[in-house]
Amino acid sequence: MSDVWAAAPDRRAAGGRPDVDVLIAGAGAAGLAAALAAAPDASVLLVEGNRNFRRACNTVLSTSMIPAGGSRWQRSAGIADSPERFLTDVMAKTHGTARRDVAEALTRVAPALVAWLADTAGVALELVTDFDYPGHSVRRCHAVRDRSGASLHRALLDAVRKVPAVTFEMPCRITDLLTDGADSVTGAVVQTPDGAQEAVTAHAVVLATNGFAANREMVAEHLPEIRNALYFGGEASTGDALRLGERVGADVVDLDAYQGHGSVAVPQGVLLTWATVMHGGVLVNARGHRFGDESRGYSEFGQVVLAQPDGIAWAVYDTAVDRLCRSFADYRLCLETGAVRQARDVDELVTITGAPREALAATLDSIARTGAGGGDEFGRTWWPRGLEAPYLAVKVTGALFHTQGGLGVDGHARVLRGGRPIPGLYAAGGAAVGISGHGADGYLAGNGLLAALGLGYLAGRAAAADRVQR
């Protein structure tokens, strides 16, 4: 097997013992967190099926935002927050439809999680204090300095490399689960690219293979409203965990939930950070009109953008917003790829966007009045100010990022069957149900990474304990 960090051991254990304590499928944030959390007390085999996982998993494509209420970073910044307040925000954003036990577990563990990431995994986190994310009542998102998922993923990989108890093998994927007569999971079948298969027994198996957003048939079945959107997620998110879970009768929950996004630059295929909106920018369609309250959230705005003529919009902002957004690696990539166009005045903005001058000028005048304290026809209540020439514009479309439903789990990341834990089986990240309720509206910034890292952390600790209890 290629890319083996530790020499692949002879896994034939003596005396009927399992070959490995914990077998983890998937080397994104969820799997890496699970490996780090389990490794101090257990031997870990981590397998990854995608050769391109270092640049094409959802963690890498994220902005590294991890929300936590009541963290030490917040206390240092004088921000009053708590897990209870965070949970209230989650339930409010999802209109009470988020799985409460999972939401309680994740919001409760989040302060310890970000501290563990910094102190144990060596991830250099800082609190994002320069703007507010929709739905969060206080500033609670923690990120690496360049706000790049690639930097976060690299830090986690580096941390796992240093742990002798973790063996990493890639490309390998789990194709089936092993069970005993009582339907406890006792390991998995691991397959290499040449088709060779090996049955690996384990005290516990953690599924961290992400969701199904790259599977167009499953998207059409469960997420028909976003089926024609650009897909902007990991190529290996094809529903492996759901297929494996089905074989052992696992519960599946909230398969209609997903994270969308309303501002992927086209044709460059680069994410334009929603900070452009939260700092005062707007989205207009090809007719020069705004078409909604952009501050509602970027996830639900994906399908709103797709409903516009030709499924595109223009993000319009100014140089003051541009300066505030340069801390994001994704935004700097937008600049480098030429996605950001500059206009000295309304006439040049008309030339760039092709929108009718009268309509576009009226939209800009309306923004100026609203920024000065006037009412907004779409109900947007937060405006730092109006926009001033020169303007910047980016052509964007709506996109599907990742699914938020999956295998039913409890607050310890144990996979459920009929509402009861399946012994020996755990799930984290996109493989498991998230905390976004239904559809796209319930997604809060950072929900995906919190479910990945938080459930991975909880799964790793609980899975390591299985070696003692079973």
Residues 218 and 365 in one domain: no
* Residue 288: inside a domain: yes
pLDDT over threshold 60, residue 67: yes
Q: What is the pLDDT of residues 379-412, one digit of tens each?
A: 887 777 789 999 999 999 999 999 999 999 999 9
E strand or H helix at 395 = strand 391-403
pTM, to two decimals: 0.92
Query: Among the three residues 400, 435, 458, which one is the final residue of a domain in this structure?
Result: 400
* Residue 458: inside a domain: yes
pLDDT at 469: 60
Residues 277 and 317 in one domain: yes
If pLDDT is split at 50, 70 and 90, which confidence band does 425 have? very high
Q: Kindly compute the dihedral angle of the four CA atoms of residues 149, 455, 238, 58, in this order, to the nearest 10 degrees.
A: 0
Residues 22 and 155 in one domain: yes
Q: What is the pLDDT of residues 334-366, one digit of tens each?
A: 999 999 999 999 999 999 999 999 999 999 998
Displacement of CA 375 from its chain's centroid (Å): 34
* Residue 410: inside a domain: yes
pLDDT at 182: 74
Sign of the Cα pseudo-torsion (123, 157, 446, 232, in order): positive
Residues 235 and 283 in one domain: no
Residues 199 and 53 in one domain: yes
Residues 409 and 395 in one domain: no
Q: What is the pLDDT of residues 296-336, one digit of tens each?
A: 889 999 999 999 999 999 999 999 999 999 999 999 999 99
* Residue 93: inside a domain: no
Residues 411 and 367 in one domain: no
Residues 270 and 244 in one domain: no
CA distance 352 to 355: 8
CATH number for position 392 = 3.90.700.10
Residues 222 and 331 in one domain: no
Burial class (CB in 10 A: 0-12, 13-18, 19+), 266: middle
pLDDT at 370: 76
Q: How many CA atoms lie within 13 A of 204 on its CB side?
A: 33
pLDDT at 71: 98
Three state DSSP letters for 63-106: CCCEECCCCHHHHHHCCCCCHHHHHHHHHHHCCCCCCHHHHHHH
pLDDT at 466: 75
Terminal C-alpha separation, the chain: 30
174-187 residues labelled b (16+ CB within 10 A) or e (exposed) = bebbbbeeeebbbb
Please enumerate in sequence order all residues whose Cβ is within 8 A of that of 301, keeping only pairs 6 or more positions apart, or say none. Answer: 260, 261, 262, 263, 283, 292, 294, 398
Q: What is the pLDDT of residues 123-166, one digit of tens each?
A: 999 999 988 888 999 999 999 999 999 999 999 999 999 999 99
pLDDT at 195: 87
Q: Any idea what DSSP says for residue 308?
A: S
pLDDT over threshold 50, residue 273: yes
Q: Please say whether the beta carbons of 189 and 176 come within 8 A.
A: yes
Query: Among the three residues 342, 370, 400, which one is the final residue of a domain in this structure?
Result: 400
Query: Among the three residues 400, 427, 456, which one is the final residue of a domain in this structure?
Result: 400
Residues 345 and 219 in one domain: no
Higher per-residue pLDDT: 14 or 70:
70
* Residue range(s) defining the domain that contains residue 334: 259-400
Residues 329 and 362 in one domain: yes
Cα separations in angstroms, 198 against 248, 335, 438: 19, 47, 38
Sheet holding 125-127, edge to edge: 66-67, 141-144, 125-127
* Residue 131: inside a domain: no
Q: What is the pLDDT of residues 284-306, one digit of tens each?
A: 999 999 999 998 889 999 999 99
pLDDT at 194: 86
pLDDT at 293: 93
* Residue 128: inside a domain: no
**For the chain, how many structural domains are there in total?**
2
Higher per-residue pLDDT: 46 or 380:
46
* Residue 116: inside a domain: no
For the segment 10-38, the average pLDDT, to the nearest whole number, is 84
Residues 54 and 198 in one domain: yes
pLDDT at 386: 83
Q: How many CA atoms lie within 13 A of 399 on its CB side?
A: 22
For the chain, the average pLDDT equals: 93
Q: What percent of the chain has pLDDT over 90?
A: 86
Cα separations in angstroms, 287 against 176, 278, 361: 52, 23, 11
Higher per-residue pLDDT: 70 or 130:
70
CA distance 242 to 352: 45
For the segment 279-288, the average pLDDT, to the nearest whole number, is 96
pLDDT at 28: 97
